[in-house]
Chain A
Amino acid sequence: SQELEQSPQSLIVQEGKNLTINCTSSKTLYGLYWYKQKYGEGLIFLMMLQKGGEEKSHEKITAKLDEKKQQSSLHITASQPSHAGIYLCGARMDSSYKLIFGSGTRLLVRP
Chain B
Amino acid sequence: DTGVSQDPRHKITKRGQNVTFRCDPISEHNRLYWYRQTLGQGPEFLTYFQNEAQLEKSRLLSDRFSAERPKGSFSTLEIQRTEQGDSAMYLCASSLMALNTEAFFGQGTRLTVV
Q: Which residues of A contact B (CB under 8 A)?
A: 1, 4, 30-31, 33, 35, 40-45, 48, 50, 88, 90, 92, 96-104
Contacts and interface: CB of A to CB of B under 8 A. Distances in A.
Interface residues of B, number: 28
Given A45-B104, A88-B42, A97 B91 contact: no
A42 B56 contact: no
A80 B48 CA distance: 36
B105 A42 contact: yes
A41 B107 CA distance: 5
A99 B105 contact: no
Interface of B: 4, 6, 31, 33, 40-45, 48, 55-56, 58, 89, 91, 93, 95, 100-108, 110
B7 to A, nearest CB: 13
Contacts of A4: 42
Contacts of B103: 33, 45, 99
